[in-house]
Structure formats: C-alpha cells, structure tokens
Chain A
Amino acid sequence: EVQLVESGGGSVQPGRSLRLSCAASGFTFDDYAMHWVRQAPGKGLEWVSGINWNSDYIGYADSVKGRFTISRDNAKNSLYLYMNSLRPEDTALYYCAKGGGSSLASYNWFDPWGQGTLVTVSS
C-alpha cells in the first residue's frame, strides 16, 4: 500500500523558516515525481512545488518562488520542502502527493495524497 506521511509542520512567526518532510513507502520512490500542494483553512487547493524523479526538473508556484525549496533523497524515500521568509498567507495544510509518472509532465496527476501537516504563520 502506498503511504505518504508528512511531518515538520508547526506554528512559526513571520519571517522564520520551517522544513517539511514526507516519508514515502509502498512504491518505488525514485520512479515518480513528487509534489507539495497546500490548502489554507476553508480554502481550495494550491500547488506549491514539484520535483521530477532525479531532481533535474523542479517547478514552483509564483507565490513561493525564491522563498521555498523542494528537494528529495531517493536513498531515504523522502521529499522535503524548505520554507524561508514565511508569511501569514503561507498558513495552510501542506500535502505531499505522488505524481502520475517520473516527470513534471502536463499529462500527469496527483495520486495518492498524504494526510498533510499544518503550518501556521502568526506573530
């Protein structure tokens, strides 16, 4: 069974940093692209970032570009999101999701999703 377990969320002050992790199991991790998607309280889904199977191709939403960094460690079956210069508008539940293939391709999808880790940015 495919499992994605996020961790690292918490409450931080604006301007501070946080690192999220996603532990994957039940599939060959380095065969798939991976993504972070967030959902602000009571709001819709927003894609944050994606990374292809070997980290050669990475994409970011404009809202986080220059502040967030995605990475992966295929030896540890883990995905990470380094979040710097956090803002109140970054407050959200952050989901890790497995891509439908190895690349960041337009025909791909997200399946499955983890349970999410909550990030709260407030003074």
Chain B
Amino acid sequence: SYELTQPPSVSVSPGQTASITCSGDKLGDKYACWYQQKPGQSPVLVIYQNNRRPSGIPERFSGSNSGNTATLTISGTQTMDEADYYCQAWDSSTVVFGGGTKLTVL
C-alpha cells in the first residue's frame, strides 16, 4: 500500500521559515494537500492541489510538490502556527495521510 512519510517534529523560531516535508513514491505525479490541526480542534485545510491556498489561509502558507517530495512552507512563522500538520494524497482511489509533523515554534 502507498505510504506518505513525514518527520515527526520540526522546530522553528518565530519569524523564521518552517519547512515540513512529505515523501512518497512519485508523489509529484499526484496532488498533495496539507491540513493543520491544533490541540482539541478539527483539522483545517491549508493547502490543496499542491500549492493552492483556501480563502482565509494566510499568505505565509505555501506548498510545492515535485519528484518524491511535497513541501509545506510557512514563511514568517508565528506562534499561532504551532500545530500538527498532515499531508494527504490519493492513490488507487483511496486516500492516504502522512503520519503528521508536530511544528514547535520557540
């Protein structure tokens, strides 16, 4: 079965750029999405179709997808961005999520 691999944790200082990767076989041939989940809350879509941002999501969130890796980039990271982030893609008519990355802003 298809797998998406994310680092368990990423740390970043406020105001700096955070990059969270998601790896999968030929992931660049698929569409990648990213979700943000804060403690006790439901996931929120932050990037869809590799690099499109839903309305209401700050411009500091961006995405890319090429080769075997999709990347979520948060520029000028704020303390409010501290959360778990999950990548997601489709494979053979089923949905796959990455294991999640805990972003710490300190």
A residues adjacent to B (C-beta < 8 A): 35, 37, 44-47, 50, 59-62, 95, 100, 104-116
What distance in Å separates the Cβ of A119 from its nearest Cβ neighbour in chain B? Answer: 16
Question: Do the beta carbons of B45 and A45 come within 8 Å of each other?
Answer: no
Question: Do the beta carbons of B48 and A109 come within 8 Å of each other?
Answer: yes
Q: Contacts A37-B97, A106-B31 known; list 8 others, CB within 8 Å.
A: A45-B100, A50-B95, A104-B93, A107-B49, A109-B33, A111-B44, A113-B42, A113-B43
Residues in A with CB closer than 8 Å to B48 are 100, 109, 111
Q: Give the B interface residue count (CB, 8 A).
A: 25
Residues in B with CB closer than 8 Å to A113 are 42-44
What distance in Å separates the Cβ of B78 from its nearest Cβ neighbour in chain A? Answer: 22
Q: How far is the CA of A46 from the CA of B30 in the complex (A)?
A: 18
* In the complex with contacts A35-B95, A110-B35, A45-B86 CB distance below 8 A: yes
Contact of B94 among A61, A111, A114 (CB under 8 A): A61
Residues in B with CB closer than 8 Å to A109 are 33, 45, 48-49, 88
What distance in Å separates the Cβ of B32 from its nearest Cβ neighbour in chain A? Answer: 10
Question: Do the beta carbons of B96 and A111 come within 8 Å of each other?
Answer: no
Q: How far is the CA of A100 from the CA of B97 in the complex (A)?
A: 16
Q: Which residue of A lies closest to B90 (CB)?
A: A106
Q: How far is the CA of A90 from the CA of B44 in the complex (A)?
A: 23
Q: How far is the CA of A60 from the CA of B95 in the complex (A)?
A: 9
3 closest pairs, A vs B, by CB?
Answer: A47-B95, A106-B90, A111-B45
